[in-house]
Chain A
Amino acid sequence: MDVSILLLSLLIGAIVTYFSGDKLASKVALLFSLVSFMLSLNILYSYSNGNDVSLVREWISLPKISFALLADGFSLVMVLLTTILTPLIVFSSFGKSVENAKKFYALVLFMSFAMTGTFLAADGLLYYIFWELALIPIYFIALVWGNGDIEERKKDVLKFFIYTLAGSLFMLVAFAYLYTKAESFLLQDLYKLNLSFQEQTWIFLAFFLAYAIKIPIIPFHSWQANVYQKAPTIGTMLLSGIMLKMGLYSIIRWQLPIAPQAAKEYLPILVGLSIAGVIYGSILALRQKDLKRLLAYSSLAHVGLIAAGCYTLTIDGIHGAVHQMIAHGFVIVGLFFAAEIIYRRYNTYAIGELGGIRSQAPKFTSLFLIVVVASVGLPGTYNFVGEFTVLYSLSQINIWFVILGGLTIILGAYYMLKMFQNVMLGETNSNSFSEVTIYETITLVLIISFLLFFGLYPKPITDLVHPSLNEIFSTINSLK
């Protein structure tokens, strides 16, 4: 068995969901996403037993493009993140009616398919194809099922699409250029390339544009808050939970090993920019009036730290970034889900209109608080593991980086607690707030237990990703 079965299951899932009709769609989607989750566990099992689960097939002879899927620890972890979060995200929508459900869930599964493909692809063009494919469904999800004023949304979503596409098209040019050099798109062939420093710089920049927009790193973030705010929450979860990880994953998998010299040369700028994103995102989050926008900026701050970890070019930084990616995926999904829970009851995201929920919904408050605390990176939660490691790697580069990057610890606590206070605490709200339903509870509890378990025992993940990251790291460091 190889990893292609995963892709197949998700793709078939999308198709079957579409044909299953509006009533059954959510259940069918859940079923298929669970199947893909099982399959990925199975693949993980067989991988850890030493079996080769990768796949390389000739696809196009000229230009030479292969259908190559690489399953090492790193990509499997990201795939698992996708296949765990997808059922979770689908499940989170249970108990809420979605218009045109069959299309919606089919798009969700299709997006999941494309993202899985992105994480697995080991051929530049295949990777690019998956990368772009993931963009189409989220565009439609945000456009058609989003909330807020339609004219504004159209503009913002289109901006998002064009912006991200613009970035990735330059990546495509870089790939085309690499192809003329290597006569192949295969990852290992691209790793072997001997590029001059100037070539590396340009290629690095082209990749950077694509990733910086996707992740986003400031100042390329201006699409983010608007889209997060206006997309339906499931879309926001997919975007923030998984899709932006595509950019971070790609930095480690593609950008750094292909153009390591450029990365080394511009390290201070890259890390500086990422850390500036941490601070800027945190500061922006302080005074937001819309819950989803606030969370969007908090995400901006968190991913800034992850990107900083990647660009430190230390093994610790990369390790930490991977941990943090996974942790962030869960925590941000949890946070957006909490926002969604509130929205379902009060029909607003305006923080000013919220408050006083705690006395009415103690269970929800506790669950939300744990997620908030995790996002703040309290030790014992998985986020701390990543944050600690990344900050540690920053401290090895320059003490100022860690001081500035570490401001996330302070500012993060500030805006998250402030948000929590304004949203949940205070005098009892005059509008009644019904306690979380069983579906909502299960979703949140799953997220929380994941965060807590791996917060105390991250070893399984570490062991899984360690060999592949080391390999990538040695590629980065090998003389080019």
Chain B
Amino acid sequence: METNLALLLLLSPFVGFLFNTFFGKKISKGIAGVIGTLTVLFSFLITICFFTQLIQSGKNFEISLFDWISVGNLQIDFGIVLDQLSLLWLLFVTGIGTLIHVYSISYMHEDENMAKFFAYLNLFIFFMITLVIGNNLLVMFIGWEGVGLCSYLLIGFWYKNQAYNDAAKKAFIMNRIGDLGFLIGIFILAAQFSTLNYSEIQLAIASGKVNTTALGIAALCLFIGATGKSAQMPLYTWLPDAMAGPTPVSALIHAATMVTAGIFMITRLNFLFDLTPEIQNVIAIVGVITAVLAASIGLLQNDIKKVLAYSTVSQLGLMFLALGMGAYTVAVFHVITHAFFKACLFLGSGSVIHALHGEQDMRNMGGLRKVMPVTFWTMLISTLAIAGIFPFAGFWSKDEILLAAFEHNKILWFLASVASIMTAFYMFRLMYLTFFREFRGTEEQRKHLHESPALITMPLVVLALLATIGGIINLPGSFWLNHYLEPVLATKHHAHSLGTQEFMLMGVALAGAIIGIVWAYAKYLKQGFVPKEDDAISGFNKIIYNKYYIDEVYTALVVSPINAISNFSRETIEPQLSKLIFSLGTAANAIGSQGRKLQNGNIGLYLFMFVLGICAIIIYLFIAQ
């Protein structure tokens, strides 16, 4: 029964995918959307079933469906596990997934390929579930690559624009760089433990006798995998570009779910990372650098979705910071709250873009507060949440990260705080530029300004609600999430009591957020500053605006050389190699041509050669004897 139910949970979105693929053209767009949504909703409901059951009984559900790959002594099953961690993830993946599906029904209504869109979304949910539900690393890898594929498909959904296709390709390839790391990590673990099953690996590690060096390398490789999928330094550049996709995609994949896969993986393998403090330090450092760097880029971006994208990168950096400090529950907590408010923000921005018929540049927005009240209010709530204002969800989770950082290392704490201040700044800059003062767009746009329909605003409201109260799952004092996740964590993360220091830090964090808000207020609302045109930007701002030229550096250091080598190989090495082979034939032919001259038809010469041959042989006979 449970097996069937679990299979249903997994396959329901897949059925949706198949249906929309094969019959999507034949049915009306609305129905396609509804079916797509219902399949995900169904999964969500099953998840809730499992979840309540788990809460009551506290027992995991793990089953191996069939043998998949067997390599020598390594036997890999296709198995699934439903435990605290995977169910938690499933809850918000399918939950937010459902909301975003609902949103998409309206958002994508004008697109001719709507059925395909829902098919891809369903497929994504299916792979995401696979990723989460697998009981070993290789099943996770299926999902891992599968969501990458869906991300590719959805970023490039408007395939007629080659720039979007480039972005999609870039996302896929950057992810693949990480995937190679992931795979190598898997190989090392497989060689060490002869299994990829989480619990078996955990058992093996617990029993001791492990090669920490090898595990260290494995952990590092796995982390490289995570940097690809979760957009960390140095592989984060694909995420901002991925905003080429339709906005629901950005919300679902590139904010709430897929990009958190790296965090899921590290949390899953917490017992491994706990053994390798060096790698944890690396994770923390990478996380905090990413957080600061991305936040600083976000300060000056003008594309509304780009701002949110850098914000996502930055927030993910904070989560990795938490992971690096061993504070897995904190990271997970932030993942969940972030999913709420960031999804809401993206959907809100989508609503704005929808109203402006595709306009994404904030310089051409403004004053939308009155026209789009629901969008405005929900986004404002989410912005407060992400800025870390009490009592919204983001406050609690971010505060815990800062707290952990403070205990761990003051520098990390300082950098993380800087990132939060910047976050507050650019988020409010976004709000001010978008919703306040006068509308700066064209007259044509102004005429069509409107609040989005209910299908769009409904998910916004739900998400805003969650962003408001989401913090309760791990309020200081109750620490429900901490307790809930205890079974899957190897080392217990002790929940800190609320002392003076903690309150002081909370105050500092809150103050920092307010500083950011005020700074933004002063600059953009009070002075009415509107960012300059692209070519008017100069100085350090230009560097930031151009994202520190990191894409250009990558192009110069990696892409261009490879292309140059490729061209060189094609134009020089290959023809030369070919020529070399041909030259053997040419040489033989040349000898033949020369030989023809010797064969000149003269009997005298022939006789002479004849005699010469005889003489040579006779002389040889005498010499040799």
Query: Do A319 and B172 have beta carbons less than 8 Å apart?
Result: no
With known contacts A159-B585, A388-B69, A283–B569 Cβ distance under 8 A: yes
Contacts of B196-237 to chain A: CB distance below 8 A: 217
Instruction: Look across to chain A and name the residue whose beta carbon is closest to the beta carbon of B581.
Output: A222
Q: Which of B74, B138, B152, B173 has the most CB of A within 10 A?
A: B173
* Docked complex Cα distance between A225 and B574 (Å): 10
A-B contact count (CB 8 A): 137
* Docked complex Cα distance between A479 and B504 (Å): 73
* Docked complex Cα distance between A399 and B188 (Å): 9
Query: Do A373 and B149 have beta carbons less than 8 Å apart?
Result: yes
Q: Which of A36-44, A119-127, A453-461 is the interface stretch?
A: A453-461
Contacts of A391-423 to chain B: CB distance below 8 A: 391-393, 395-396, 399, 402-403, 406-407, 409-410, 413-414, 417-418, 421
Which residues of B have CB within 8 Å of A413?
172-173, 176
* Docked complex Cα distance between A410 and B217 (Å): 20
Asked whether B582 is an interface residue with its Cβ less than 8 Å from the other chain, the reply is yes
Asked whether A425 is an interface residue with its Cβ less than 8 Å from the other chain, the reply is yes
Asked whether B562 is an interface residue with its Cβ less than 8 Å from the other chain, the reply is yes
Shortest C-beta distance, A292 to chain B (Å), equals 14
Which of A284, A379, A425 contacts B145 (CB under 8 A)?
A379
Asked whether B193 is an interface residue with its Cβ less than 8 Å from the other chain, the reply is no
| Residue-wise interface mask of B (149-179) relative to A, using a CB-CB cutoff of 8 A (1 in contact, 0 not) | 1001000100110100110010011001101
Asked whether B190 is an interface residue with its Cβ less than 8 Å from the other chain, the reply is yes
Which residues of B have CB within 8 Å of A407?
180
Which secondary structure characterizes the binding site on chain A? helix
Asked whether B60 is an interface residue with its Cβ less than 8 Å from the other chain, the reply is no
Query: Do B68 and A396 have beta carbons less than 8 Å apart?
Result: no
Which residues of B have CB within 8 Å of A287?
563, 566-567, 570
Query: Do B574 and A459 have beta carbons less than 8 Å apart?
Result: no
Which residues of A have CB within 8 Å of B156?
421, 425
Shortest C-beta distance, B218 to chain A (Å), equals 11
Query: Do A319 and B162 have beta carbons less than 8 Å apart?
Result: no
Instruction: Look across to chain B and name the residue whose beta carbon is closest to the beta carbon of A288.
Output: B570
Asked whether B577 is an interface residue with its Cβ less than 8 Å from the other chain, the reply is yes
With known contacts A280-B569, A284-B569, A399–B184 Cβ distance under 8 A: yes
Contacts of B14-71 to chain A: CB distance below 8 A: 21, 66-71
Which residues of A have CB within 8 Å of B585?
159, 162
Instruction: Look across to chain B and name the residue whose beta carbon is closest to the beta carbon of A356.
Output: B160
Contacts of B91-133 to chain A: CB distance below 8 A: 116
With known contacts A319-B71, A421-B169, A392–B563 Cβ distance under 8 A: no
Chain B interface residue bracket vs A: 35 or more
With known contacts A366-B21, A425-B159, A392–B74 Cβ distance under 8 A: yes
Asked whether B187 is an interface residue with its Cβ less than 8 Å from the other chain, the reply is yes
Which residues of A have CB within 8 Å of B74?
316, 392
Contacts of B567-593 to chain A: CB distance below 8 A: 567, 569-570, 574, 577-578, 580-582, 585
Query: Do B180 and A426 have beta carbons less than 8 Å apart?
Result: no
Q: Which of B74, B146, B165 has the most CB of A within 10 A?
A: B165
Contacts of B527-577 to chain A: CB distance below 8 A: 562-563, 565-567, 569-570, 574, 577
Which residues of B have CB within 8 Å of A359?
159-160
Query: Do B187 and A226 have beta carbons less than 8 Å apart?
Result: no
Query: Do B165 and A392 have beta carbons less than 8 Å apart?
Result: no
Which residues of A have CB within 8 Å of B69?
385, 388-389, 458, 462
Asked whether B142 is an interface residue with its Cβ less than 8 Å from the other chain, the reply is yes
Asked whether B191 is an interface residue with its Cβ less than 8 Å from the other chain, the reply is yes
Asked whether A358 is an interface residue with its Cβ less than 8 Å from the other chain, the reply is yes
27 contacts between A and B (CB under 8 A): A159-B581, A159-B585, A219-B577, A222-B580, A286-B562, A286-B566, A287-B566, A287-B570, A288-B570, A315-B72, A319-B72, A359-B159, A379-B145, A380-B142, A389-B71, A392-B190, A396-B191, A409-B183, A414-B169, A421-B156, A421-B166, A421-B169, A425-B162, A426-B160, A458-B68, A462-B69, A462-B70
The residues of A with any CB-CB pair to B shorter than 8 Å are 155, 159, 162-163, 219, 222-223, 225-226, 280, 283-284, 286-288, 314-316, 319-320, 356, 358-359, 362, 366, 373, 378-380, 385, 388-389, 391-393, 395-396, 399, 402-403, 406-407, 409-410, 413-414, 417-418, 421, 424-428, 456-459, 462
10 new A-B pairs (CB below 8 Å) besides A320-B71, A457-B68, A459-B67?
A: A219-B577, A283-B565, A286-B566, A366-B21, A379-B138, A379-B144, A380-B146, A388-B183, A410-B180, A417-B152
